[in-house]
Amino acid sequence: MNLQPLRIEADWQVSYNQLYEIDPILGYEPYFDGSSLLMLRNNIRLKLIDVQWRPELDINGEYQIQVLNFVENFNSKTNEFDTEPNWENPFLTFATKSRLILVDKLEELLRTLPVFEDPRITKRRGVIDELSESYRLKLKENGISIELIKNILEKGSAKIQNHILDSNEITREIILKFTENGITKKVRNKANQKLNCKRFKE
């Protein structure tokens, strides 16, 4: 039995493939044993596509697609990137009984899925900036505080300083601090540009 032909776009990798060019009919139940018929991943878009058949071995079941975002963590022991797909919060789900509709949907997703922006503060790809990331999490959990701004200005990276300037809670007084004490010229310029916005003009 031939594998299902599929037009794979650039940057997508086939991690696993047991998706065959056959429809669910009596006698072919073993081809629909469920737990991942096809798995595709894209390290540029930080996306994983998982295709399953549910219920397993039931020819009256359906194909189920899950599209997952994932983050990368650099493993210094293996010198490779470990990935953590977010199985609990799929980016997209889709179900169909039709193999041809499945193929059309997969090819559409391979063309159009957007890049996932890793929200974490990193030093470089897959390497967390622990201190600045802790500031981002505090901002997310508790909002802006005087102490948090002080720590970010004194110890935070350019990425977390840019992140705080994009916060909806930012005030003119805080922006002024960044115009004077931002860690880089780019950060200070960004703060000055925000001061020229209608919202922050005196």
pLDDT tens-digit map of 25-67: 888 888 888 779 999 999 999 999 999 999 988 889 999 999 9
Establish if 7 belongs to a structural domain. no
Number of domains forming the structure of the chain:
2
Q: What is the mean pLDDT of the chain?
A: 93
Pair (66, 152) in one structural domain: no
Establish if 5 belongs to a structural domain. no
Distance CA 12, CA 91 (A): 17
Establish if 144 belongs to a structural domain. yes
Pair (107, 129) in one structural domain: no
pTM, 2 dp: 0.81
pLDDT at 57: 86
Neighbouring residues of 117: CB distance < 8 A, sequence distance ≥ 6: none
Which residue range forms the structural domain that includes residue 135?
122-200
pLDDT at 7: 95
Establish if 1 belongs to a structural domain. no
Establish if 23 belongs to a structural domain. yes
Pair (96, 171) in one structural domain: no
pLDDT grade for 197, boundaries at 50, 70 and 90 = confident
Q: pLDDT tens for residues 171-193?
A: 999 999 999 999 999 999 999 99
Establish if 26 belongs to a structural domain. yes
Pair (149, 194) in one structural domain: yes
pLDDT grade for 124, boundaries at 50, 70 and 90 = very high
> Is residue 166's pLDDT more than 80?
yes
> Is residue 202's pLDDT more than 70?
no
Pair (94, 161) in one structural domain: no
Torsions phi, psi for 131 (to 5 deg): -65, -50
For helices 158-165 and 172-181, what crossing angle results, to 10°? 150
